Amino acid sequence: MKKDTVYEVRTYSSTSISKLSKKLLKHVLIVTIGLGMLYPLLWLFSSSFKPNTEIFQSNSFFPQTFTLDNYKQGWSGLSGVTFGKFFANSFFIVAMCIIGNVIACSMAAFAFARLKFALRKMWFAIMLITMMLPFHVTIIPQYIIFNSLELVNTYVPLILPKFLAVESFFIFLIVQFIRSIPGELDEAVKIDGCGPFKLYIYLIMPLALPALVTTTIFTFIWTWNDFFGQLLYISEINLYTVALGLRMFLDAMGQNSWGALFAMSILSLVPLFAIFIFFQRYLIEGIATGGLKG
Amino acid sequence: MNKLKQAWRNNWVGYLFLSPWLIGVLTLSAIPMLASLYLSFTSYDMFTPPKFIGLDNYATMFQDAKWRDSLRVTSMYVFLGVPLQLIFALAIALFLNRGISGLKFYRAIYYVPSLFGGSVAIALLWRQLFGSKGLVNSFLTTLGFETKNWIASPDTALYTLIVLMIWQFGSPMVIFLAGLKQVPIELYEASKIDGASKWKQFSRVTLPLITPVVFFNLVMQIIGAFQAFTSAYIISGGSGGPLNSTLFYTLYLYQKGFTHFQMGYASAMAWFLLLFIACATAILFITSKKWVYYQE
Amino acid sequence: MSKMMKSLMLYALSIIMLVTVAACSSNTPNDAANTTSTPKATNQNDPNQQNEQNDKKDEVEIRFTWWGDTTRNELYNAIVDRFEEEYPHIKVKREFGGWGDYWDRLTTQVAGGNAPDVVSMHQFYVSDYARRGALLDLSQVVDSGSLDLTNFPESAINSGRINDTLYMVPKGVTMPGWAYNTAVFDELGIDYPDMNWTWEDYAAKVTEIYEKSGGSLWGSVDGSGGQPQPNFRYFTRQHGQDLYTADGQIGFTEETLVKWWSMWDELRKKGAIPDAATGTEYENAPLEQNMFVTGLVAITQIPANQIYLYQQQFSEGEIRMVRMPTLAGGQNGEYIEGAYLSITEKSKHPEEAALFIDFFINSERSLELFKVEQGSPASTTMSEFVKPLLEPAQQRAVDFIQEVLPYATDAVYAPLGAAEIQQLFSDQASKIAFGQMSVEEAAKAFMTEAQAILQR
């Protein structure tokens, strides 16, 4: 009898220990991989406080001489136009692109996923095909179009395409999400007498929210980082974006201002990180279950 | 009569929702695309008017050894890199889906590599990791292994780019997470009551329900990886070296177009790639009928 | 359903917040344009008065573009500001970027029919632009008196001619050479290289460095491949040949090429220069991280105007330069290099563009800022004018340029297709370095393929 109880206690404690150690192992694993993910950021961060000469010449991870000069010098930008201006410009472009992408892509996606109309499959195929041509060969024709409309050196070439749902990636993404929404829900709504517009706004959009959030996050990050389009279409410094501002510190034939580049890179990552943290809650707080019940 | 009216109404609504995209595709996409298709039959140096030369560009292309190299390198990158990246992204997404404290924080951290995009910092970093005096080598030395110049040896350079691709797994991960959000919790609870093991739960409940998202990621990553440019451009300094081992298709295309001023040839290359990707995508779509489940 | 809508509303709200934040902090493009004109106006002493003086002339806007780093951007902006003070009726829009970005954008602009009026030009690319009719024949603005080249030596002007047409004028001329750090040589106890050394001296010096350092230091970078100029081009010219002939054919023999690659191959096999993988690893490294600055090699090839950039990287020793190695019993390889200015063919205001170039290269107000930013001023009066303004490292650069300049002879510009041949040259060189081909095979294949490219 006594032996048995001891035995029982032992099993109990050993399972709880194994459970605990399993949990611990999980966290250790996550943290180790996490460090691998974070290393570049940490390196960039610590380098941004090093004087230019120290960045590549010392092997130490931590700055030996701590300086804020990189931030001051970097922020001052060029000829009186500061990085504050570049940030404002980037925010403006990004915000417009998000609005454009969310509205135009979700509309097209709704049409492809839920509406029946002639040539639907053909248009869908065309949508996919537009993604398959490397952009380098369409740059010049596109530039000629915008130049003939005298829109070069404005933000129109960067923003207008989003309002015309040129990024098929997001259309296809939202289509896939809408297609996993049960069709019976549509029927129920249709029986209630709702037309396609109400169906779009009141049922599909809320249910496809994770896709819209994903579209927002990606549009933000990709537009923020995209520099090639900005490089070709924006040449006046007052219109410069953060991505272009960062390129300013580099010149293969001259001197690179690494310190300033790193400092401003760190600053430019802040909004990206913030947007990810802010919007990811929509990916975490499950709306699917609540939604289906309500 | 009534039927016709109904059909017209349906078309009208469909095209109304489609109209922004339709305008965009007919102006901003179609014109440049058709222009480049025409240019692929010409000799075009960008500064002087194009000269029509028929199929010459395509003929030259099939005999161009470097073009074959670039196609081989890119295919390797796609067929090795994309599956690895997706498996990694899905594993992490499942891992970070629920049931761990500090989830939000971890998730944000795991997304960090993807925030960098094609930043120049990546090029510096990769040299720091995989260069002759890199971290990987000093790690190998302490373990007593032989070292290697990973980034500049023709037989390993491409793998460092594949590692980079896997490392930047954030986008597919987010899409997987968003897909997992759509799996109703009730289903998990039901399978729990049935006493299903974790693996069974994953393979019977989760995986089938997220196949649309898996399919999406697969198609998109393949289309994207075939056109991969930035990583090779920043890390090899635009050369595609050593010995063409990182000469991605679009990198070669860019060299031809912008460095050698042969935009006609570059356009022919681009349209060949389009056909190539279209075939790959079509195959995926056909097989998808067998393994992707939609709720409609 | 209400819960769903709530989260959608919340989401929409957060987007709107994002937009308002952006809208509040940002000006529209039009606002942005307005803010620029204010500081410029305050720069002028009395804008109204000056405007009255020039009332007869219509306002003209030209665009000027250059490549450069942050220091140069500030400098050129200041020069342009001074030009606008001097010529209030001409507004100059500035566009700039790093070397790589610069050429991507310029190509697109020229192809798209939106070329800037005044563009910075370089020997690597001038053939591609000039031979395709993108650049203006400058003799018309020289004849009209807008661009004054009287103080320019004939050789400097000739370096901007392609087939006898003047397409570009030098902002600054520079000469390449091999640089070394005195501290490194002192420490090893090796004599500095001689100004007029030969390729044999070079090979011996490189080997000596490698041996005396006990193998911890390579003698020099691998110059076998990469851009064929200046290294290989000097070698061909020393043989009485050149990269190309005047009628656009390959200008050197297979024998010269074999000699060239064999020389490097021997050094590589001895271990005196870096192995292929290390060489490739550092090939495109930025200046701050290249093999010379990080102390892996003792000698490197640079253009003279970069001496002061390199000097800034070292706390010990002086960066000095010697000529490109010469060929015993051969001719001089030197030809003028530099950074140039051109006017584009489609410019609507070639005269104003010429006035700008004239101001840039001939006026003291410009040169006292420019100094030797992209090489020593080509105008003889201006190069005298900037001399007292220089720092020691810049002074050394000018001294070097002026010492070597007399050796320079005219050089033929590359034909169309040269970019592809350059690529081929560099590809073949790395095939040798990685041991995929013998020197003879690589040279033979190069000659056949290069000729095929030029035949097209």
Whether residues C29 and A239 touch (CB distance < 8 A) is answered with yes
DSSP string, A255-289: ---HHHHHHHHHHHHHHHHHHHHHHHHHHHS--HH
Counting as contact any 3 or more CB pairs under 8 A, the partners of A are: B, C
Q: What residues have CB less than 8 Å from A210, skipping those under 6 apart?
A: A177, A282, A283, A287, B178, B179, B181, B182
Assigned domain for C388 exists: yes
Whether residues A214 and B118 touch (CB distance < 8 A) is answered with no
For residue C275, give the 3-state DSSP assignment.
Answer: coil
Residue B96 in tokens: 């970070």
pLDDT of residue B248: 96
Q: Which domain holds residue C289?
A: 176-336+410-455
Asked if residue C426 lies in contact with residue C387, where contact means CB atoms within 8 angstroms, the answer is no
Position with higher pLDDT, C283 vs B52: B52
Is residue C385 over pLDDT 60? yes
Domain edges within chain B: 46-117+158-291
Alpha-carbon span B35 to A142, nearest angstrom? 9
Residues C308 and C357 placed together within one structural domain of the fold: no
pLDDT of residue B4: 59
Q: Among partner residues C33, C71, C98, which is closest to A247 by beta-carbon distance? A: C98
Q: How does residue A289 score in pLDDT terms, banded at 50, 70 and 90?
A: very low
Is residue A157 over pLDDT 80? yes
The CATH number of the structural domain formed by B46-117+158-291 is 1.10.3720.10
Angle at C447 between CA C446 and CA C450, to 5 degrees: 80
Asked if residue B191 lies in contact with residue B137, where contact means CB atoms within 8 angstroms, the answer is no
Using the Cα atoms of residue A37, residue A40, residue A43 and residue A46 in order, give the sign of their dihedral: negative
pLDDT of residue B273: 97
| Residue A98 sits at the chain C interface (C-beta within 8 Å) | yes
Is residue C435 over pLDDT 90? yes
Alpha-carbon span B218 to B86, nearest angstrom? 8
- Residues of chain C neighbouring A53 (CB-CB closer than 8 A): 313, 315
User: What percentage of residues in chain A have a pLDDT greater than 90?
Assistant: 53
**Torsion (CA) B57, B63, B64, B65 in degrees, nearest 10:** 170
Averaged over A196-219, what is the pLDDT? 90
Residues C259 and C202 placed together within one structural domain of the fold: yes
pLDDT of residue B204: 84
Residue A256 in tokens: 């690179």
For residue C161, give the 3-state DSSP assignment.
Answer: strand
Which ranges of chain B have pLDDT less than 70?
A: 1-8, 98-100, 296
Preceding peptide of B154 cis, ω within 30°: no
Is residue C331 over pLDDT 90? yes
Using the Cα atoms of residue A24, residue A25, residue A26 and residue A27 in order, give the sign of their dihedral: positive
Measured CA distances, A42 to A222, B122, B163 (Å): 22, 13, 19
Residues C366 and C254 placed together within one structural domain of the fold: no
Q: How far is C404 from chain B (nearest CA, A)?
A: 31
Of C132, C133, C128, C152, nearest to C142 by C-alpha is C152
Assigned domain for C14 exists: no
Q: How does residue C167 score in pLDDT terms, banded at 50, 70 and 90?
A: very high
Cβ atoms within 10 Å, residue A197: 12
Q: What residues have CB less than 8 Å from B220, skipping those under 6 apart?
A: A169, A172, A173
- Using only C-alpha atoms, chain C has a radius of gyration, in whole angstroms, of 26
Whether residues C283 and B241 touch (CB distance < 8 A) is answered with yes
Residues C220 and C274 placed together within one structural domain of the fold: yes
pLDDT of residue C23: 56
| Residue A94 sits at the chain C interface (C-beta within 8 Å) | yes
Residues C311 and C343 placed together within one structural domain of the fold: no
Is residue C11 over pLDDT 80? no
Residues C85 and C120 placed together within one structural domain of the fold: yes
Which of C110, C284, C428, C432 to mutate to test binding with chain B, by most B CBs within 10 Å of its CB? C284
Measured CA distances, B50 to A145, A159, B15, B264, C418 (Å): 17, 30, 37, 8, 20
Longest dimension (CA), chain C: 92
pLDDT of residue C27: 45
Whether residues C7 and A260 touch (CB distance < 8 A) is answered with no
Element spanning C357, H or E: helix C350-362
pLDDT of residue A14: 58
Alpha-carbon span B164 to C277, nearest angstrom? 20
Q: Among partner residues B46, B239, B242, which is closest to C107 by beta-carbon distance? A: B46
pLDDT, one tens digit per residue, over C172-197 is 999 999 999 999 999 999 999 999 99
Chain A residue at shortest CA distance from C37? A238
Averaged over C279-294, what is the pLDDT? 90
Counting as contact any 3 or more CB pairs under 8 A, the partners of C are: A, B
Cβ atoms within 10 Å, residue C44: 15
pLDDT of residue B192: 73
pLDDT of residue B65: 93
Position with higher pLDDT, A292 vs A243: A243
Whether residues B270 and A134 touch (CB distance < 8 A) is answered with yes
Is residue A293 over pLDDT 50? no
Assigned domain for C28 exists: no
pLDDT of residue A1: 39
User: What ranges in B64-197 are assigned the alpha helix state H?
Assistant: 65-76, 82-95, 103-115, 120-130, 135-142, 157-167, 170-181, 185-193
Is residue A290 over pLDDT 60? no
The DSSP secondary-structure symbol of C116 reads -
A176-180, B55-59, C148-152, C421-425: least confidently modelled range: A176-180
Assigned domain for C197 exists: yes
Position with higher pLDDT, C53 vs C309: C309
Q: How far is C269 from chain A (nearest CA, A)?
A: 29
Of A116, A117, A114, A120, nearest to A185 by C-alpha is A114
Alpha-carbon span C161 to C429, nearest angstrom? 30
DSSP strand E in A11-81: where?
none
- For A68, counting Cβ atoms within 10 Å of its Cβ (0-12 exposed, 13-18 middle, 19+ buried), the class is exposed
- Using only C-alpha atoms, chain B has a radius of gyration, in whole angstroms, of 24
| Residue A258 sits at the chain C interface (C-beta within 8 Å) | yes
Number of structural domains chain C divides into: 2
pLDDT of residue C430: 94
Chain C residue at shortest CA distance from B153? C277
pLDDT, one tens digit per residue, over A245-261 is 999 998 888 888 899 99
Say which residue the tokens 């092997």 belong to: A59
Using the Cα atoms of residue C221, residue C333, residue C337 and residue C382 in order, give the sign of their dihedral: positive
Alpha-carbon span C127 to C415, nearest angstrom? 7
Q: How does residue A187 score in pLDDT terms, banded at 50, 70 and 90?
A: confident
Alpha-carbon span A202 to B63, nearest angstrom? 57
pLDDT of residue C43: 41
Asked if residue B114 lies in contact with residue A221, where contact means CB atoms within 8 angstroms, the answer is yes
Whether residues A128 and B281 touch (CB distance < 8 A) is answered with yes
Whether residues A95 and C18 touch (CB distance < 8 A) is answered with yes
Asked if residue B179 lies in contact with residue B207, where contact means CB atoms within 8 angstroms, the answer is no
- Using only C-alpha atoms, chain A has a radius of gyration, in whole angstroms, of 26
Assigned domain for C27 exists: no
Q: How far is B162 from chain A (nearest CA, A)?
A: 15
Residues C315 and C434 placed together within one structural domain of the fold: yes
Domain boundary (C384, C402, C420) is at C402
Which of C18, C94, C110 to mutate to test binding with chain A, by most A CBs within 10 Å of its CB? C18
- Residues of chain B neighbouring C107 (CB-CB closer than 8 A): 46, 258, 261
Asked if residue B160 lies in contact with residue B235, where contact means CB atoms within 8 angstroms, the answer is yes
Averaged over A60-83, what is the pLDDT? 88
Q: Among partner residues B153, B237, B263, which is closest to C284 by beta-carbon distance? A: B237
Measured CA distances, B226 to B75, B166, B275, C181 (Å): 7, 15, 12, 46
Of A35, A46, A71, A47, nearest to A260 by C-alpha is A71
Q: What residues have CB less than 8 Å from B282, skipping those under 6 apart?
A: none
Amino acid at C20: T
Whether residues A255 and C100 touch (CB distance < 8 A) is answered with no
Residues C297 and C445 placed together within one structural domain of the fold: yes
pLDDT of residue B168: 92
Chain A residue at shortest CA distance from B282? A125
Assigned domain for C19 exists: no
pLDDT, one tens digit per residue, over A222-244 is 999 998 999 999 999 999 999 99
Q: What residues have CB less than 8 Å from C75, skipping those under 6 apart?
A: C369, C370, C373
Residues C201 and C277 placed together within one structural domain of the fold: yes
| Residue A287 sits at the chain C interface (C-beta within 8 Å) | yes
User: What percentage of residues in chain C have a pLDDT greater than 90?
Assistant: 79
Residues C75 and C213 placed together within one structural domain of the fold: no
Averaged over C39-63, what is the pLDDT? 57
Averaged over A129-158, what is the pLDDT? 94
Whether residues A127 and B21 touch (CB distance < 8 A) is answered with yes
**A206-217 burial: b if 16+ Cβ within 10 Å, else e:** bbbbbbbbbbbb
Q: How far is A250 from chain B (nearest CA, A)?
A: 9
Residues C332 and C353 placed together within one structural domain of the fold: no
Residue C137 in tokens: 């024949």
Assigned domain for C18 exists: no
Task: Count each helix (H run) and each strand (E run) in chain A, helices first.
Answer: 17, 0
The DSSP secondary-structure symbol of A135 reads G
Assigned domain for C16 exists: no
Alpha-carbon span B23 to A205, nearest angstrom? 23
DSSP lists the bridge partners of residue C401 as none
Measured CA distances, B200 to B214, B293, C302 (Å): 18, 18, 65
pLDDT of residue A280: 80
Residues C363 and C390 placed together within one structural domain of the fold: yes
Which CATH number is C119's domain given?
A: 3.40.190.10
Element spanning C121, H or E: strand C118-122
Q: Among partner residues B149, B243, B259, which is closest to C436 by beta-carbon distance? A: B243
Q: How far is C316 from chain B (nearest CA, A)?
A: 24
Averaged over C301-309, what is the pLDDT? 92
Measured CA distances, B225 to A132, B85, B216, B220 (Å): 11, 11, 14, 8
Angle at C201 between CA C198 and CA C205, to 5 degrees: 140
Of B31, B48, B33, B25, nearest to B270 by C-alpha is B33
Q: Among partner residues A155, A207, A256, which is closest to C286 by beta-carbon distance? A: A256
Alpha-carbon span A34 to B98, nearest angstrom? 17
